[in-house]
Amino acid sequence: MIGIDLIKTSRMERFMERFGERGLLKFLSTEELTLVKSYKTAAGFWAIKEAFSKAIGTGIGKSCSFHDMRIYKTATGAPKLSLSKKIIDKFGIIDVSISITHDGEYAVGVVGVEVLSSSNKVKQF
């Protein structure tokens, strides 16, 4: 399953100016907050979380909240996504790959999710 999200970075800049750290904690953990160096980084993190929720087919809401996902970095600085046990079990997730990119005023997050279930196979007609 694949999810993608695009956000205009100036939207995140305004959000941070208005709500500051308190606003960021609505969608980031305290550990993730330490990784945010600018509004562009925050926008990329937002895009990844939205993209993941789209990949599993729920969007952000009751079934999957922003706090069911955590972004972390490897020793070489690559972003990775960890998930709550609730989400892993509910959707049968066995692996997740992510990519974040920024260009001009936009940040894009792409997520690939591998699941145990074969119910997501192409529908035959």
* Residue positions annotated with a catalytic role: 54, 102
- Secondary structure letter of residue 77 according to DSSP: -
The strand pair at 69-73 and 2-8 is best described as unpaired
38/28 Cα distance (integer angstroms) = 14
Written as six digits, the tokens of 121 are 């196979």
